[in-house]
């Protein structure tokens, strides 16, 4: 369930064709975890950010948490742990 930027506990950087992104977003929706989604193919600044936290690689899904930490292709359990759920 996507939400506005102010309310989101996390941001999911993704692409439309990424199967891992679809899986994570489905799991987040089923768990009731709100997130903001950004398609890095439509937002060059976001693509640059994803590359900067992944050694120059544009790996999706990359998740940005409210505390500024990131995770690349995390499991739902890892997201819940980072959110202290």
pLDDT, the chain, mean: 92
pLDDT at 84 over 90: no
- The model's pTM is 0.89
DSSP of the chain: -B--TTT-SEEEEE-TT-HHHHHHHHHHHHHT--BEEEETTT-HHHHHHHHHHTTT---SSEEEETTS-EEES--HHHHHHHTT-
In the chain, what are the domain boundaries?
A: 10-82
Can you tell me the mean pLDDT for 4-21?
Answer: 84
CATH top-level class of 10-82: alpha beta
Instruction: Check residues 9 and 46 and name the one with the higher pLDDT.
Output: 46
CA distances from 66 to 16, 42, 79 (A): 23, 22, 12
């Amino acid at each position: 369930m996507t939400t506005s930027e102010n309310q989101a506990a996390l941001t999911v950087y993704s692409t439309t064709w990424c199967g891992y992104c679809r899986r994570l977003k489905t799991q987040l929706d089923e768990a009731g975890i709100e997130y903001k989604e950004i398609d890095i193919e439509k937002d060059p600044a976001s693509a640059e950010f994803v590359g900067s936290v992944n050694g120059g690689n544009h790996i999706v899904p990359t998740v940005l948490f409210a505390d500024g930490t990131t995770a690349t292709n995390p499991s739902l359990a890892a997201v819940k742990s980072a959110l202290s759920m």
